[in-house]
């Protein structure tokens, strides 16, 4: 059995689900629109530049989860899936996942975006396994804080190794391991797999992929 790992935002999706979730919350009046847009844009620029302070970002991004009851959050997320995610699902991304699934590969989404936002999206792709930034819980609700190692940059390697260890295996046990990602933030993990695929790559990753002879894939126009 081989391993297939997929980044989510701008890889399987042509949008950033974390960024769009913040915009959605502003649209429904859950957060202040002007402040949300200002911070959303600032953190996204830092992410693209490779300078994101993941702790500061998570403190900002997860805070709304602690401010509302779980039932309200679930209702909003259902609406978010219908209005934002569903229109962004593309046949080419579904077909890519299906090819690996049909071959019997072990498939997982590995993303820095938190589990609250991404778990229903992974289900829509038919991917059972999700390695996402974990959100601390308090009873049925959330504290607004992350827990464990965020699955961001080198943290993706740590979280992947932890997940594989929980299954009694290691990355080196797989004859082939493929990782699809769009971002230079994921170069560390791309270097670890046997088959790195720069998927809809940003300019920095595209240059690295060209220099190292990595396969490049364009799922979206």
Residues acting as catalytic residues: 7, 9
CA separation for the pair 215, 85 (Å, rounded): 27
Q: Within 10 Å of residue 206's Cβ, how many Cβ atoms?
A: 16
- Residues with Cβ < 8 Å from 178, sequence gap 6 or more? 2, 3, 4, 5, 100, 105, 193, 194, 195, 196, 197
Element (H, E) at 196: strand 195-199
Q: Within 10 Å of residue 151's Cβ, how many Cβ atoms?
A: 27
CA separation for the pair 114, 135 (Å, rounded): 7
Q: Are 106 and 94 in contact (CB under 8 A)?
A: no
């Amino acid at each position: 059995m081989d391993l297939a790992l997929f980044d989510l935002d701008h890889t399987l999706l042509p949008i950033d689900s974390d960024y769009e979730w913040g915009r959605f919350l502003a649209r429904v009046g859950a957060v202040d629109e002007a402040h949300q847009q200002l911070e959303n844009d600032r953190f996204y620029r830092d992410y693209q530049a490779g300078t994101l302070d993941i702790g500061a970002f998570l403190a900002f991004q997860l805070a709304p989860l602690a401010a509302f009851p779980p039932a309200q959050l679930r209702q909003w997320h259902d609406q978010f899936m219908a209005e934002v995610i569903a229109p962004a699902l593309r046949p080419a991304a579904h077909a890519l996942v299906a090819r690996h699934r049909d071959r019997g590969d072990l498939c997982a989404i590995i993303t820095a975006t938190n589990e609250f936002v991404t778990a229903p999206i992974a289900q829509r792709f038919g991917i059972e396994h999700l390695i996402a930034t974990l959100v601390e819980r308090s009873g049925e609700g959330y504290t607004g804080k992350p827990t464990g190692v965020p699955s961001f940059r080198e943290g993706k390697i740590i979280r992947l190794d932890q997940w594989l260890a929980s299954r009694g295996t290691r990355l080196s046990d797989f004859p082939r391991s493929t990782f699809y990602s769009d971002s230079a933030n994921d170069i560390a993990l791309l270097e670890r797999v046997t088959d790195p695929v720069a998927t809809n790559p940003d300019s920095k990753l595209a240059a690295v992929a060209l220099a190292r002879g990595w396969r490049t894939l364009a799922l979206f126009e």
